[in-house]
Structure 1
């Protein structure tokens, strides 16, 4: 029994040793695994740090990329701006030699405009000249004196004409079509509202003042459009338009009398206001012309040749080394300058060598060529010195100096001195220069021209006014 126990004890001891060894090994493995985990954590931390750094680098790279794109965009923009500046400079250089002008069709759609303007004159003047048909009824309705009723149409006619400077300025700024339509609405509503007047004084204000100004805003565009659409046939077109006044005087008087007898003076005047409103349809045909570009014409070479010959002939000469004054100019005195259409050429002393000089011909030819070049250069500079006519200014009718001239323009010296109609239009279209451009420049330019009281210094104008 004891032997068995000893054997059992002896067998148990190696097993315990083995188990202890296994435990020790397990503890070592655990330690190693813990060390490995710690190192793995460290590696993961380093990896996360590297990942964060990589993200930061990517963000910085993205920022740099955005900055690069911005720089490229700025560079492209600066390049485009440079091209625009170059185009503008080229355009400015080009505009020095070109103008925009509107060439009248002298027919075509212009005859429709003439017919519309004739109808406007027929309605307005016919209504003014036939107002006497209702004066008695207005006098009895308001229990007013005869002069008070006559003052209604007198005020209307007065402001009908006195509104011309204002209408001209408005047409030059916003165009005849827009001004005519607005004037038709103002005139129609003021005439229609005058039937509600409680007394004759209110009728003076509505019919006389406001209605007269509204009709003036219709009438002046009808005159301007004739000169705007016609040059050579302007006299015929003006005759057709002004014939509307006579036709209206003859036809409107019995027509209005019939209206007032059938419907009474209030309803009849309201129907007349509707007829005046129809002038807006006529004004709708007053469309502006399309501007075209035209090169400025420099003085022809023949004129420069003649001028050079005139300059070369009367000069001082040196013969044989002595200065001999010219005796053919103002008693031997040289003129300070000779003008070639605005260009000034300074006096030139021509040296005539002795007859023995073999190079005399070459000297004269070289000097003459130099003067010709100077004349051409200065003449071109003078012709480009004025402001170029822009497209938006070319369509403004009141910048044309002859737009209100109703006669035959072919008889004007300014017309006869030009080679063709476009050149004549180019020379007679004047745009006043301004130190500072404003939105209302076209308005004030026309208003200053139409209210130029310096004309009263002319005795002929005073006689016409009297």
Structure 2
């Protein structure tokens, strides 16, 4: 009996007529044979940099306004709840700290769900969950009940809103990513400014239970905002593999290799070699870094980067890849502008064999003539030319709502596509999905054209992943969820000294982060300030935070600006100012402190992803984001109750601010040697690599 291939392997292009096909095409019979030999195709999201993206930005801004506004104004509920139940400050502080803690801790799990089902449904579900949690809190008659309804359920629901609302903006923007993301995140500061007095007014009018019920209704608005998170249509890229790759020879790859998804007829898949040890993960899936990017697959697994001689100019090389992607970038933007980003998938073909002259489109002819005139291409030399096919050519159609109907071409799957996967694209399979800064700081962006960059940061799904999406074969824990969790919770990153310094620093920052929000108004009132004026100190933090986010985002867009130094200075100022904030309880001093603290937390939030990329590299960003969520969420959950405990113990609010300021200052001090530690770590890794070679 013939031995069957392993499940995770596939024989590629194993039809025996490959060599004959080559001869036929070279003999001029391309028209008939090319129809039978379809090169592998994948899909890549190329942000439209505008259009509906501005609507998404506004929706994200409003989501952040509601979520962060409620989280940062939660301190307004502390005294009414404490007096109602007759408990201490530490116990009641745990109600709000659980809200902020689960808001962060749930981040990796929400990201995994968004990867499988999309930003829109996850955001809507989160609004419903959080609204239910707050509504149930209306019936609370004990702190334990509020811990569950307000803290845990409300926090999880807020994370369902927060994560999609942040990352979907970057999904829509490339050139304007830093600006659009910065504006969206400014909703945090605006929400703090608005909800501090609003929460106080609602409590005075309806009591703390009625105020929570009113906030429950406001949270439901996020479901409306989430409806604006419309999925993007991908650009479809088709490029033939190098004739020297194992795939062209019909080689059967070894055990344990994931089958990377590309649209190829009839197989529809491309096997890519990954070390077997990478599959021994706790989630039963490999992290993203173990899977190839679209650029690696279509460049011959990263080995075909050298310039090819003229007789191989029909293959995709590093040089003609740049020319090809420039043309597709222009065409993609033009089509999306004309159709409001609801165009069908654009398909680019870089032909493997020189095509007859009459098959080249006019765009390719004009480009070739221009290059001959410029001296970059010799007369008679054939080059890879993009052939962009329309909907009619590919036999694809698209409804007005943006959902694609069934593919009727050869080898297509029958039946409707009920999942959210758009021809192999997954948001969490992008290395830069959590990057909120300007892309000019990323080396990959500087060395590629637009499409080339997006292909270089897009990890391909496996065939099993796509089949689960199309056939709904796995409903409990799909591969898209497992792979995202395996990426975000890959604990091998804890072996990095640089990352551990950054993570511990973030832990200390978040321990002191929420203390001023919870106690600054109460301390000001107890110190003799007018309660109506003291109420707006938290609002002043929000205003300062909003302005500082914009300025910080602008400064970080310059490559010459050292993000680590900016982070260290801002956090040090915030920590010292917090420790000294109780010296004078008057309007001028307290509002000045609010401005400084707002700047500090704005820089901390805005620069986190930039620091990770500068220190660890773009490919580690998703992993770092997941682990940082756990560190910071745990710190947020315990920080305020500890401060409340010492306030109860000493009878003074100043002790809470001393502890908070000291923790924030320590977090800044930990980051001062970070650049030297990172340089030592990289040198050690380089020496180890040379030793193994």
Fold shared, TM-score > 0.5 on shorter chain: yes
- What secondary structure, in the 3-state scheme, does the structure 1 residue paired with 2:236 have? strand
Counterpart of 1:157?
A: 100
- What secondary structure, in the 3-state scheme, does the structure 1 residue paired with 2:96 have? helix
Counterpart of 1:442?
A: 480
Pick aligned residue for 2:444 from 414, 419, 426: 414
Higher helix share: 1
Q: Displacement of 1:449 after TM fit?
A: 1.2
Matched, 1:244 2:187: yes
Q: Displacement of 1:422 after TM fit?
A: 1.8
Q: Displacement of 1:212 after TM fit?
A: 0.5
Structural RMSD (CA): 3.1
**Counterparts of 1:237 and 1:260, CA distance in 2:** 34
CA displacement, residues 144-200 of structure 1 (integer Å, 9 cap, x when unaligned): 221111001111111100111111000000000000000100000011101212210
Structure 2: which 5+ runs fail to align?
1-32, 243-299, 322-349, 351-419, 469-473, 505-693
Matched, 1:170 2:113: yes
Matched, 1:342 2:303: yes
Pick aligned residue for 2:490 from 442, 447, 452: 452
Counterpart of 1:133?
A: 76
- What secondary structure, in the 3-state scheme, does the structure 2 residue paired with 1:294 have? strand
Matched, 1:254 2:197: yes
Q: Displacement of 1:425 after TM fit?
A: 1.1
Matched, 1:182 2:211: no
Pick aligned residue for 1:429 from 435, 451, 458: 458
Matched, 1:119 2:62: yes
Q: Is the 8 A contact 2:240 2:315 kept in 1?
A: no
**Counterparts of 1:92 and 1:395, CA distance in 2:** 26
CA separation of 1:93 and 1:429: change in aligned 2, threshold 3 A: farther
Q: Is the 8 A contact 1:344 1:378 kept in 2?
A: no
Q: Quick check: which has more Rg, 1 or 2? A: 1
Q: Displacement of 1:379 after TM fit?
A: 7.2
Counterpart of 1:401?
A: 431
**Counterparts of 2:157 and 2:121, CA distance in 1:** 13
CA displacement, residues 102-155 of structure 1 (integer Å, 9 cap, x when unaligned): 221111111111111111111111111111112111111122221111001111
Q: Is the 8 A contact 2:116 2:421 kept in 1?
A: no
CA separation of 1:107 and 1:199: change in aligned 2, threshold 3 A: same
CA displacement, residues 375-431 of structure 1 (integer Å, 9 cap, x when unaligned): 987979xx99xxxxx96354421111111101111331111111x212211221102
Pick aligned residue for 2:177 from 208, 211, 234: 234
- What secondary structure, in the 3-state scheme, does the structure 2 residue paired with 1:107 have? coil
**Counterparts of 1:344 and 1:214, CA distance in 2:** 46
Moved over 4 A (4+): 89-93, 371-380, 434-438
**Counterparts of 1:454 and 1:393, CA distance in 2:** 31
CA separation of 1:192 and 1:378: change in aligned 2, threshold 3 A: closer
Counterpart of 2:43?
A: 100
Structure 1: which 5+ runs fail to align?
1-88, 300-338, 346-368, 385-389
CA separation of 1:116 and 1:343: change in aligned 2, threshold 3 A: closer
Alignment: residue pair count: 306
Q: Is the 8 A contact 2:425 2:460 kept in 1?
A: no
Q: Is the 8 A contact 2:181 2:436 kept in 1?
A: yes
Q: Is the 8 A contact 2:118 2:231 kept in 1?
A: yes
Counterpart of 2:668?
A: none
**Counterparts of 1:178 and 1:225, CA distance in 2:** 13
Pick aligned residue for 1:195 from 126, 134, 138: 138
Q: Any residues of structure 2 matched to 1:315-354 within 5 Å, and which?
A: 341-343=302-304
CA separation of 1:423 and 1:91: change in aligned 2, threshold 3 A: farther
CA separation of 1:216 and 1:95: change in aligned 2, threshold 3 A: farther
TM-score, length-normalised on structure 1?
Answer: 0.60
CA separation of 1:132 and 1:372: change in aligned 2, threshold 3 A: same
- What secondary structure, in the 3-state scheme, does the structure 1 residue paired with 2:156 have? helix
Q: Displacement of 1:435 after TM fit?
A: 7.0
Q: Displacement of 1:231 after TM fit?
A: 1.0
Counterpart of 2:148?
A: 205
Counterpart of 1:462?
A: 500
CA separation of 1:421 and 1:137: change in aligned 2, threshold 3 A: same
Q: Displacement of 1:432 after TM fit?
A: 4.7
**Counterparts of 2:240 and 2:445, CA distance in 1:** 15
